[in-house]
Amino acid sequence: MRTGLIGLGSMGQGMARNLAKAGYLQAVYNRTSSKADALAVELQVQAVASPQALTEQIDVILLCVSADQDVLEVVSALCETIKPGSVVIDMSTVSSNTAKEAAALLARKQADFLDAPVSGGVEGANKGTLAMMVGGDCAVLERVRPILQAMTARIEHLGPTGSGQACKAVNQVLCAGINQAVTEALAFAQAQGLEMEKVIDVVSGGAAGNWFLQHRGKTMTNGVFLPGFKLALHHKDLLICQQMAEQKHLDCPLTQATLHDYQLLMRQGFGDEDISALYRLKRPN
């Protein structure tokens, strides 16, 4: 299977390197072509000038772009020239409805679609240890599983198209709560005058230890908020979660509070920082 990747952002770059290392990657496309050109040289693969150009030679097309409208824009472009029997796998975080819309567009061209959002951050993308949540046809997943294994430590099939994204929304609600808990707790520790490195190390080894504390605790308390996972992207995800909760008449107070905090930070110009920039609102003055 000839494989190509569209979207060489914070996540896509690590994914591309792992696909290339496993011998699967033939071509890349990125909207800002300089990124694709540089990575193509490094990985000795082809950089193409448009999504359509990818469809000529590639039958498994992976996407990792930003938001719903970006996925639909790229899928619409692919649909102009895609070959029947091709598979498009979207690893971006978007709504279940967008996944269903993308699948319907591709089905008209006899091409398959899987929604396959991931968790594990930029570190997981770089190390090839992402957790992947897949929606769509099981048989299609089995065909492409070896390719996906090059980027992941775990792949779970959740059900029909859209269920991968629904599971990812669960993950994003959890991330909001964890971000609130970790930033509040570390601000509390700093206000006590404790040595932050020691606090983070010892707490990470106990019952309250978690990935976010371990990977972002020291940077945030040192005032470093490099992405990581851009706050504006998590805000986009939480709007999807909020809408899904409203449809089921569910209250999600942590999601609401985090949306409110992120909106404040985005207005102050911090949308491109890591989600740990929530610490800006919590840290003692």
Name the site residues for ligand NAP (rule: CB under 6 A): 7-12, 30-32, 35, 64-66, 70, 73-74, 92-93, 118-119, 121-122, 229-230, 233, 237
CB-based burial of residue 205 (10 Å sphere; 0-12 exposed, 13-18 middle, 19+ buried)?
exposed
Q: Choose among 189, 181, 278, 281: nearest CA to 231.
A: 278
Question: Minimum CB separation from ligand NAP for residue 105, in Å?
Answer: 15
Dihedral sign, CA of 53, 140, 245, 129?
negative
Question: Minimum CB separation from ligand NAP for residue 132, in Å?
Answer: 10
Which one of the listed residues 21, 168, 198, 230 is annotated catalytic?
A: 168
Question: Minimum CB separation from ligand NAP for residue 93, in Å?
Answer: 4
| CB-CB contact of 277 with 270 (8 Å) | yes
DSSP class of residue 44?
Answer: T
Q: How far apart are CA 97 and CA 95, in angstroms?
A: 5
Q: How far apart are CA 62 and CA 138, in angstroms?
A: 17
Q: Which residue, judged by CB position, is nearest to ligand NAP in the bound state?
A: 9
Q: How far apart are CA 261 and CA 241, in angstroms?
A: 16
Catalytic annotation on 168?
yes
175 forms beta bridges with none
**Closer of 147 and 189 to ligand NAP (Cβ):** 147
Question: Minimum CB separation from ligand NAP for residue 152, in Å?
Answer: 12
Concatenating the DSSP letter of every residue in 162-197 gives THHHHHHHHHHHHHHHHHHHHHHHHHHHHHTT--HH
Q: Choose among 158, 165, 52: nearest CA to 100.
A: 165
The total of other beta-carbon atoms located within 10 Å of residue 80's CB is 11
Catalytic site positions: 168
